[in-house]
A and B are shown apart, each in its own frame.
Chain A
Amino acid sequence: MTGPTVSSPLLSVNSLKVYFPIRKSLFGRSKEWVKAVDDISFTIKEGQTVGLVGESGSGKTTIGRTIVRLQDPTSGSILYEGKPIHNLSQKQFRPYRKKIQMIFQDPHNSLNPRLTIESILREPLDIHFPGMEKKQKKEKIVELLEKVGLSAEHLYRYPHEFSGGQRQRIGIARALAVGPKLIICDEPVSALDVSVQAQIINLLMDLQQEFNLSYLFISHDLAVVEYLSDYVLVLNKGRIVEEGTPEEIYKHPKDAYTKKLIASIPSI
């Protein structure tokens, strides 16, 4: 923990609401809404991991997308280091993309199949560090690959030549390229074998230690969330039904929905 901002949170989400219209009346005013995110508040401190657990349709992905401005909020605010970011234009938000990055669920769909790994990792550097020298960029790319357990020999290969776990590593390297402080991990291990899942979770923990990263870790699997998180929010139909430290939640679940989630975890 460094700097003067330790006490104030890195990210704070206040009474966030995201509604989607389903039916429109004659004059274009929406009559009915899907309340995807309904009055959600939470904070993430530097170096902390907050876990968001819930089923499909609980609104967990929408929260992540709203934070990175891929989705407009209906109301509420999102503050990054105390400054509102929810109402910025895409251009105004650009500097924050350096601070907040995202890792997606499906590593097959989130990497451009026609680009080599080098180009995939070069893109964020070209956009956010236009002044960086070519040679320097190359060194940075190799360094990133090594950080995530790959090496320079992978530079000129295409995404399809990699396994699911390796592709997720590339996705993580891409997120790390711009030196973010917060990474939104949207179901980063759900599409992977349990054995590979273990490797990726370990990698995320190591990187967090090394770079003092904060994570918003989104998953439907409470057992996975619990491994990484300092604080867990349980989401159901757009609302937080329970929150607390992972120990509190799995030892003394209060809400019926949380109990159901815990009961569903395959265990040995």
Chain B
Amino acid sequence: MLLQVEDLHVHFLTQSGEIPALRGVSFSIEKAESVAIVGESGSGKSVTALSLTKLLESPPAIYKKGKILYEGVDLLSLSQKELRKYRGGEIAYVFQEPSTSLNPVYSIGFQLLEAIELHQPHLKDKKSVGLEVLQKVGIVDCQMVWKSYPHELSGGMQQRVMIAMALLCKPKLLVADEPTTALDVTIQAQILELFAKIQKDLAMSVLLITHNFGIVKGFSDRVVVMFRGQVVEEGPTEKVIYSPTHPYTKALIDCVPRLGEKGKRLRAIDYSLIESSLNL
């Protein structure tokens, strides 16, 4: 077991009082396993991802209850300083919008070197480590990209650079929070392929956060479905997709557009039905 989240409760302080974002989330990730959290905006999937290394600013976030065990250590009980060892080094992130994650005024090479210097200051030939990792994410012309600035690269290329940066410290767990939502479908397919390849090659665990059931199939070993801060269903990907037990899971699968259904209405989610089946 690499990571185990137990009964995680996270609240947010707002003007209208404390709002629960997570209400008892539990799931686990094995070594070299790929898990997907699927849910809509507001389901708490990103809050879950960010809570893993306490990346949420606190306050307003309050870690109310629960445990996040990473190789047996409860990350929630660690100080910010102690957590630094885990952030990036053990658990690395790739976010949705690569253009806002990269610094626009520094070259790609500079930003990669910065990350290497921070995490592996003892390394001698830092530049070649950086170039190597760019190659690993399928960038052919590494030298060129090294010298480029973020705005000179396409969205797909920027996301490859973000993945390269995440891989620099050889993390054991890669958390990808909607990594392809800002990309075209063709580029999305390439990036997902890249994730799958890296995961195999490096025997890394991947936690994919997405709102689209379509991209989960063929990618993740297991799926965790979230709704309003709770896990409503969990299981092997194929099983969840082909025989979902929870009505919300079913509804979420149904609204993925399929080829060959022209003119039919897409099945939108009937929330009142789902809410009545949950005790909120």
Query: A residues within 8 Å of B by Cβ?
Result: 55-56, 163-164, 193-199, 201-202, 205, 220-224, 226-227, 229, 246-247, 250-251, 260-268
Closest to A229 in B: B262
Contact of A199 among B212, B264, B268 (CB under 8 A): B268
Is B65 among interface residues, defined by CB-CB distance under 8 A?
no
Query: B residues within 8 Å of A by Cβ?
Result: 40-41, 154-155, 184-189, 211-215, 217, 241, 251-253, 255-269
**Dominant secondary structure of chain A at its interface with chain B:** helix
Q: Is the CB of B259 within 8 A of A262?
A: yes
* Closest CB in chain B relative to A112 CB, distance in Å: 22
Contacts of B261 on A, CB cut-off 8 Å? 226-227
In angstroms, Cα B186 to Cα A196, docked, is 22
Besides A195-B40, A195-B211, A250-B260, 7 more A-B contacts (Cβ < 8 Å) are A194-B257, A197-B255, A199-B268, A202-B268, A205-B265, A264-B186, A267-B258
Q: Is the CB of B269 within 8 A of A195?
A: yes
In angstroms, Cα B263 to Cα A99, docked, is 25
Q: Is the CB of A223 within 8 A of B259?
A: yes
Closest to B180 in A: A266
In angstroms, Cα B251 to Cα A222, docked, is 22
In angstroms, Cα B40 to Cα A197, docked, is 11
Contacts of B259 on A, CB cut-off 8 Å? 222-223, 226, 250, 262, 265, 267
Q: Is the CB of B186 within 8 A of A55?
A: yes
In angstroms, Cα B185 to Cα A93, docked, is 35
Contacts of A205 on B, CB cut-off 8 Å? 265
Closest to B178 in A: A193
Listed by A's residue number, 11 A-B pairs whose Cβ atoms lie within 8 Å are A56-B154, A56-B187, A196-B40, A198-B255, A198-B269, A220-B185, A221-B257, A227-B266, A265-B214, A266-B212, A268-B256
In angstroms, Cα B213 to Cα A164, docked, is 19
Contact of A264 among B189, B255, B266 (CB under 8 A): B189
